[in-house]
Amino acid sequence: MRGMLGEYLPIALLAGLALLFAVGSLAASALLRPSRPTPAKLAPYECGIEPVRLPAGERFSVRFYLVAMLFIIFDVEVIFLFPWAVAFRELGLFGLVEMAVFLALVLVAYVYVWRGGGLDWSAEGPRPRATHERAREVVRAG
């Protein structure tokens, strides 16, 4: 028990040091700096862009999430493909079949979303069944 916890001692030390450094830096800068606030100084820093507050209660279309999720799925697919390609010869036929099964399953998900109208962004086009009306119902009731 003691031996196992002992292995974690360096991690605990590092975590402690990191915490000390962060708190220490903030404390030092708060003590040493002159305090002359202006509205521009107090604004949150956002990569040079004027910070904009989104209108309260604005809703994102659920399709943003759908596209984001599809992106992640294909991203993960590629992440799996690279190491497989590197070790292709060692894995042999087994690896090929496994990867084909994996790709086929991802393709099924893609075909489902595509044919179900999930990628259709035009207002007039075929709407995704049900999801649309459900979203409206929630908005009305909520």
Partner 1 sequence: MRVELAPIAPELLLVGAGIAVLLGGVLARRADPLAHLAVSLAGVAGAAAASVMLWSREGATALAGAVAVDRFGVVARLVLLGVAALALLLAHHTLARDGELRPEVPALILFATAGMTLLAVSADLVTTFVALEVLSLSLYVLTGSSRRLVSLEGAMKYFLLGAFSTAFFLYGVAMAYGATGTTSLGGIAHALAGRTETPALALVAMALLAVGFGFKVSAAPFHMWTPDAYQGAPTAVTAFMSAGTKVAAFAALLRVLDVALQPLGWDWGPVVAGLAAVSVVVGSVLAIAQTDVKRMLAYSSVAHAGFVLIGATAPGAPGIDAALFYLLAYALMIVGAFGVVSLVSQGERGTSLEDHAGLYRRSPVLAGLFALFLLSLAGIPPTAGFIAKVSVFRAAVEAGHWWLALVGVLASVVAAFAYIRLMVLMYMREPVGHREPDPSPVPRLVLAIPAAGTLLLGVLPGLVTDVLGKAAVLRW
- In angstroms, give the least distance from the CB of 76 to partner 1: 16
Buried residues in 33-47 as b, exposed as e (16+ CB within 10 A): eeeeeeeeeeeeeee
Residue 90: what are its φ and ψ, rounded to 5°? -65, -40
Q: Report in angstroms how near the CB of residue 119 gets to partner 1 at its nearest.
A: 12
Three-class SS state of 37: coil
Residue 53 or 140: the one with the smaller Cβ distance to partner 1 is 140
Residue nearer to partner 1 on the CB measure, 20 or 73: 73
Min. distance of Cβ 9 from partner 1 in angstroms? 16
**Sequence-ordered list of residues with C-beta below 8 angstroms from that of 43, at least 6 positions apart, any chain:** 51
CB of 118 to partner 1, least distance (A): 10
Q: Which residues contact 87 (CB under 8 A, 6 or more apart)?
A: 95
The smaller minimum CB distance to partner 1, of residues 2 and 53, is found at 2
Q: Give residues in contact with partner 1 (CB under 8 A).
A: 1, 4, 92, 94, 105, 108, 111-112, 115-116, 129-130, 133-134, 137-138, 141
